[in-house]
Amino acid sequence: MIKALETIGDTYAIYGFSGYGRENVEFYIIKDLEEEFSDKIKCRIDRISPIQGTRMGPAIRHATWKLEQQAARNKFLFLVSDGRPQDHGYGCDGLEKEYAINDTKMALLEARRRNITPFCLTVDRVGHDYLRTMCGDIGYEVVADIESLPKRLPALYSKLTV
């Protein structure tokens, strides 16, 4: 995806996130919008690893805010994930999965209301069960074979920008 974006000259950023409860969501800048791609950024990408929970809502909201600051005509937010949203502190009454999905859904809808086109992509083979609810009419795709991911991302971007 990076190679495709660099080739066509589009501005992009790469962010990561991790959380442990609503008061402890960390947002990681791997490549910010104004940064040029470099060996330093390649090193940041190589160091990406899972840390804690997957509290997607706050990370999506922060990325949305960052995109709102840009003067671009078209703005896209690609959420690439390995599974459903979940985190410590959503509740222990059996509703935590539902809450996590609905919080993420609201964050995606908020992005769309701000003229940002969200798109969710997961390598979780059972992703359809929660993405259908989480994304509604927002685009999403389940990539069953992780090896095909490098080919799918540029194709999806091309499809969305045409």
pTM of the model: 0.86
Closest by CA position to 62, among listed 21, 10, 26, 98 = 26
Task: Count the domains in the chain.
Answer: 1
Record the tokens describing residue 147, joined without a space.
């090896």
DSSP state of 37: P
Alpha-carbon torsion (127, 108, 29, 41), positive or negative: positive
pLDDT cut 90: percent of the chain above it: 38
- Domain range for 107 is 2-161
Question: Residue written as tokens 């539902």?
Answer: 98
Residue-wise pLDDT for 30-88, tens only, equals 999 999 999 999 999 999 887 877 788 889 999 999 999 999 989 999 998 887 777 65
Of residues 41 and 159, more confidence is placed in 41
Tokens of 117: 């086109």
What CATH number corresponds to the domain at position 118?
A: 3.40.50.410
Give the CA-trace dihedral at 13, 29, 137, 54, to 10 degrees.
160
Closest CA to 105 of 51, 155, 61: 61
pLDDT of residue 92: 57
Half-sphere exposure of 154 (CA within 13 A, CB side): 12
CA 45 – CA 71 distance, rounded (Å): 26
pLDDT tens-place string over residues 124-145? 888 888 898 889 888 898 988 8
